[in-house]
Amino acid sequence: MDRILINGGNPLTGTVRINGAKNSALKLMAAALLTDEPLTLTNMPDLADTRFMAHLLAHLGVAVTRKNGTQMTLHAKKLAEPFAPYDLVRKMRATFNVLGPLLARHGTARVSLPGGCAIGARPVDLHLKALEAMGAQIDLVEGYAVALAPTGLHGAHISFPFVSVGATEHAMLAAVLAQGETVLDNAAREPEIADLANCLNAMGTQIEGAGSASISIKGVGSLGGTEHRVMPDRIEAGTYALAVAATGGNVLIENCDPAHLGALWDRMRAIGVTTEPQGVDSVRIIQNGDRCSAADLETQAYPGFPTDLQAQFMAVMCRANGASIIRETIFENRFMHAPELSRLGADITVHGREAVVRGVPELHGAPVMATDLRASVSLVIAGLAAQGQTEVNRIYHLDRGFEGLERKLGALGANIKRVSEAG
């Protein structure tokens, strides 16, 4: 099993280029199931999660080819049996989003329930209710969602009781081939929703309101192929911005969309870090002082502060000047990084969904263990800001979502390397 070794204390300087968004790419890949024509995705990240999704889609009969590192073509000319087994679903929850497209195209599907994960139970009840509202009959049998829509899906008015990114996307993916119009109220407004809508519209459907809380989808008889550029990964961009906040330095983050990170820029200003958007696709982060100021944080659905950047913000607060209260409102168990950060000398107390971080002048390197994707990268950020050597174990979590992390950080001046068990 690989580990990452960091000798902390170097400021970050230079330019870093952001990849396409993992969370968007996974749902765009599922959209390939909706058409018998090829869907080509450009600006595709190459991650353990996108490979895993490609593996599942290949099992479902999709021909997947990669070109030039960042282009992927998915061609579902003819689907195989619409069956997604446990082994190909359990590792990554986004795979569950194949249920709607399979059902819409095939009239039947059997997809393993994804189960919980380290950050919480993460049920899929809203996904299932949305499909049922469109006419699907779904039974839960031995860990599988067994779904039928013998006469196809029909449009429906679905009002979500709370915001869910995955359920909004799943409902959209099913509604595009349903008969009639579907309206989604209290829909998620994350930029990834608009990215998916843009791609589906280019494939021939008519979706309006994506990015707002009310989305309308006019179903069509069939969809065609298209070429679509995956939006930049706002979480990767925000992670590098917070790494600079932790270490100090001056970094230009390229190929991102600064407009997607308004809530982060607000918190960066509050902790005394300069953020300067440069045109529409770059942002410069400047942190001159040794320590940031402390500021409180609450995660919220978009346009609020993303839960996927909460752990990284906490890593920055560990060395801040003062105390910070961090409140997690999206997931019930998303502070697993706190005890690991404490191993580096951080002073953190967790009470339920709230963590109090009292900034300390210095962190000191130590061996730590990654527990989930975003938590892992918060340990890397803390290691970059700590004195001495930090060893991050179980880094397969990092490979799920951060392409070339140690290469990119190394190019910015960090002393970081990956070592395998053998070497």
Catalytic residue set? 117
381, 368 contact by CB (below 8 A):
no
| Residues numbered 240-269 forming contacts with ligand UD1, rule: CB under 6 A | none
| Residues numbered 4-23 forming contacts with ligand UD1, rule: CB under 6 A | 23
Q: Which of 31, 109, 126, 379 binds ligand UD1 (CB under 6 A)?
A: 126
Q: Which of 18, 30, 89, 167 binds ligand UD1 (CB under 6 A)?
A: 167
> What is the nearest approach in angstroms of ligand UD1 to the Cβ of residue 95?
9
Q: Which stretch binds ligand UD1 (CB under 6 A): 103-111, 124-132, 353-361, 391-399?
A: 124-132
> What is the nearest approach in angstroms of ligand UD1 to the Cβ of residue 167?
5
Contact string 191-230 vs ligand UD1 (x = CB under 6 A): ----------------------------------------
Contacts with ligand UD1: how many residues (CB under 6 A)? Answer: 19
Q: Which of 127, 267, 291, 319 binds ligand UD1 (CB under 6 A)?
A: 127
φ, ψ dihedrals at 304, nearest 5°: -75, -175
**Residue 106, C-beta contacts closer than 8 angstroms, at least 6 positions apart:** 79, 82
210, 197 contact by CB (below 8 A):
yes
Tokens describing residue 41:
């995705």
Helix (H, G, I), strand (E, B) or coil at 417: strand
Does the protein bind ligand UD1 through residue 308 (CB under 6 A)?
yes
Does the protein bind ligand UD1 through residue 175 (CB under 6 A)?
no
| Residues numbered 310-369 forming contacts with ligand UD1, rule: CB under 6 A | 330-331
Which residue, among 85, 50, 45, has the nearest Cα to 64 in the 3D structure?
50
**Residue 334, C-beta contacts closer than 8 angstroms, at least 6 positions apart:** 119, 120, 307, 310, 311, 328, 375
Which residue, among 53, 178, 26, 173, has the nearest Cα to 101 in the 3D structure?
173
258, 282 contact by CB (below 8 A):
yes
Does the protein bind ligand UD1 through residue 164 (CB under 6 A)?
yes
The 10 Å Cβ neighbour count of residue 56 is 22
Beta 226-229 vs 3-7: how paired, if at all?
A: unpaired
φ, ψ dihedrals at 34, nearest 5°: -85, -10
| Residues numbered 70-109 forming contacts with ligand UD1, rule: CB under 6 A | 93-94
Interface ranges with ligand UD1 (CB under 6 A): 23, 26, 93-94, 120, 122-127, 164-167, 307-308, 330-331
